[in-house]
Amino acid sequence: MDETICINPATGEEIGRVPLQGPSEVLAAAQAARRAQPAWAATPIKQRAKAIQKVRDFLADNADHLAETIARDNGKTRTDALVAEVLPATAAADYYAKKAKAWLKDAHPGPALWLLANKRTRLARQPWGVVGIISPWNYPFTIPFSEVVCALLAGNCVLLKMASETQMVARAMSRCLAAGGLPPGVFTCLNLPGRQAGPAMLEAGVDKLFFTGSVAVGRELMTLAAPSLTPVNLELGGNDAMLVCPDADLERAAAGAAWGGMVNTGQTCGGVERIYVHHGVATAFLERLGNRVRALRVGYDTDFQVDLGAMTTLRQVELVKAHIADALAHGAKIFAQSACPAGPNFLPATVLTQVDHGMRVMREETFGPVVAVMPVGNMDQAVHLANDSDLGLTGSVWSKDRGAALRLARRVKAGVVMINDHLMSHGLAEAPWGGFKNSGLGRSHGREGFNEMTQVQTIVNDLLPWAKRDLWWYPQSREQYQGLKGLVEFLYGHGLERRAAGLRRLIRLLPRMFRAD
């Protein structure tokens, strides 16, 4: 039997094997989900919420084990795994289980036209049916978890394909969801090669597809989904900018840049990559940032005395090295660098200066422990450079003036902008996550992300079923036309006399509603 061999990136040791599946297993899972979905959607939301609360309790009771599993499978430190994966997932399960009932409740927008007040509009949220989710290796637990939870609470069944590189986390995910006592077919975790996952799910007939990954693969999935008009939700990464204003708290900004740029060894779609700092404070900022980066400890986490773990894949190591080499070849300088142990998956934390937008590190997603710092003459220039990208996932503004920072944040073309912080909004269950431009389509997290798991059904109920006909029904006549025109003039005409004349014509037409002839 073909299988995925799971390797600890930090040590190279084998930590497990997981059977490999194919399109036929995806089809079978989709068919089982299709059979299970009507009963699951008919299950009262209170019971679905209780199932997710059981999952929450399992996460809380097994936090240490989950953090260790994630760290060994992905290469990050246990602290990173706990803070950025286990804690946000636990909070998300709790938050969405509590909010789902209110969010799924029918809405009543009220009439826009008083004469049609008898036509009462109701907005109902209906689950898509079977939702497919394809998730990445950099945050293998928390990225798919919120999507899975929201989908299940909304009444969908879920097919989840987690990254081949982190299949031990996938097994842990299955154990967590099993703790909720879900009926058979409601949730299935699959292991198949990444390139097969999207086509297999679309061919199996999923009703909506969620994908987190590269821009190139996202475009391919949109193309594949087009013939069936299957909706896709895409989170496709970023090359995120940090704007440091002249009045910023430089100690906090430097500490935030070090964490936001290096956490998870920089393998973070919403992490700091480009820093635009006002020239008046650039030297002082760089001094503080350099000191913090040089002090970072890179290595294998055995006693929690490590800040950065290993890169997850050798392919990503080579890409980061290529970006640094390209920058150096075009005039950039290494301003600061941490120590780094030997080992193919370890990279030092690095600060680059003398950079420009002709370099790959400033144009593309590096996805590694590298930040590039560029002084600017003013914050208008900083905004312009921040927006000089085809990506727009997140960004941040650092200033003591909250009002000025908010105004700058509104000008940054990114889906998420933080003030005096970076990245951590992904851990806020209430905060929508997603990007502008090539960073993707749709949202996850928050009410907006929850709504992605449903489609709106409009139900219009006539409160006058005993009326014989509506004013605009057949047969047509001059009297009907003049009466309906009178409605327009009465509501929107200029002048009291014109409105009164319109009302008189409308009143003459009203008895038509109650005549059978």
Pairwise CA distance, residues 249 & 252, whole Å: 6
Contact 235, 434 (CB under 8 A): yes
Which residues have C-beta within 8 Å of that of residue 125, sequence separation ≥ 6? Answer: 103, 104, 106, 154, 451, 454, 455, 456, 457
Domain membership of residue 178 (yes or no) is yes
Q: 271 and 426 in contact (C-beta within 8 Å)?
A: no
Are 399 and 249 contacting, i.e. CB atoms less than 8 angstroms apart?
no
Flag whether 292 is in a domain: yes
Residue 269 designated active-site? yes
Under DSSP, is residue 432 helix (H, G, I), strand (E, B) or coil? coil
Q: Copy the structure tokens of residue 489.
A: 């003039």
- The pLDDT value given to residue 488: 96
410 and 388 share one domain: yes
Domain end point (choices 411, 434, 457): 457
- Cα distances (Å, whole numbers) of residue 153 to 34, 57, 100, 427, 430: 16, 16, 7, 19, 16
Tokens standing for 78?
């246990």
Do 244 and 281 form a contact (C-beta atoms < 8 A)? Answer: yes
**Are 374 and 490 in a shared domain?**
no
Spatial CA neighbour of 157 closest among 191, 131, 183: 131
- Residue 343 belongs to domain with CATH number: 3.40.309.10
Q: Are residues 192 and 251 in the same domain?
A: no
Q: How far apart are CA 258 and CA 275, in angstroms?
A: 11
Residue 432 included in any domain: no
With 0.85 as the threshold, say if the pTM is over it.
Answer: yes
For residue 108, being part of any structural domain is answered with no
Residue with tokens 């190139």: 216
Which residues lie across from 315 on neighbouring strands? none
* Residue 457 structure tokens: 């059904």
- Count of structural domains within the chain: 3
Secondary structure string (H, E, C) spanning 235-285: ECCCCEEEEECCCCCHHHHHHHHHHHHHHHHHCCCCCEEEEEEECCCHHHH
Tell me if 129 sits within 8 A of 156, measured CB to CB: yes
Residues in the chain: 517
Q: Do residues 132 and 68 share a domain?
A: yes
Yes or no: say if 350 and 369 are a contact pair by the CB < 8 Å rule: yes
Instruction: Calculate the CA 313 to chain-centre distance.
Output: 23
Picking from 233, 184, 229, the residue whose alpha carbon sits closest to that of residue 202 is: 229
227 and 344 share one domain:
no
In a domain, 11, yes or no: no
What is the spatial distance between Cα 387 and Cα 13, in angstroms, rounded to a whole number? Answer: 43
If residue 160 lies in a helix (H) or strand (E), which one and from where to where?
strand 157-161
For 287, residues 6+ apart whose C-beta sits below 8 A from its C-beta are none
Amino acid 199 reads P
Instruction: Check whether residue 318 and residue 352 sit in a common domain.
Output: yes
Q: What is the pLDDT of residue 516?
A: 84
220 with 325, same domain: the answer is no
**Nearest CA-CA partner of 161 in 317, 30, 34, 13:** 30
Cα–Cα dist 16/414, whole Å: 39
- Please say whether the beta carbons of 343 and 9 come within 8 A: no
- Residue 500 tokens read as 């009164």
Asked whether residue 74 is assigned to any structural domain, the reply reads yes
Catalytic residue among 147, 245, 269, 364: 269
Q: How far is CA 432 from CA 158, 272, 392, in A?
A: 21, 19, 14
395 with 479, same domain: the answer is: no
What Rg do the C-alpha atoms of the chain give, in angstroms?
28
Q: DSSP letters of 111-125? A: -SSGGGTTEEEEEEE
Strands 208-212 and 232-235: parallel
Whether 226 and 265 map to the same domain: the answer is no
Which structural domain range is residue 48 located in? 23-103+119-236+447-457
Amino acid at 315: R
Q: Is residue 78 part of a domain?
A: yes
CATH at 47: 3.40.605.10
pLDDT at residue number 1: 60
Within a domain: residue 389? yes
The answer to whether the beta carbons of residues 305 and 297 sit under 8 Å apart is: yes
Q: Do 202 and 224 form a contact (C-beta atoms < 8 A)?
A: yes
- Note whether 265 and 362 are same-domain residues: yes
Three-class SS of residue 3? strand
**Integer Cα distance of 213 and 197 in angstroms:** 13
Ranges of residues in the chain with a pLDDT under 50 are none
In contact, 425 and 431? CB cutoff 8 Å: yes
For 85, 117, 302, 470, 488, the CA distances from 481, given in Å and listed in that order, are 64, 21, 82, 13, 11
- Same domain? For 267 and 343 the reply is yes
Q: 386 with 243: CB under 8 angstroms?
A: yes
- Report the phi/psi class of residue 437: left, alpha or beta, with left for phi > 0 and alpha for psi in -120 to 50: left
Residues 260 and 229 in one domain: no
User: Which of 165, 235, 273, 452 does the annotation list as catalytic?
Assistant: 235
The 10 Å CB-count burial string (b at 16+, else e) for 22-52 is eeebbeebbebbbebbeebbeeebeebbebb
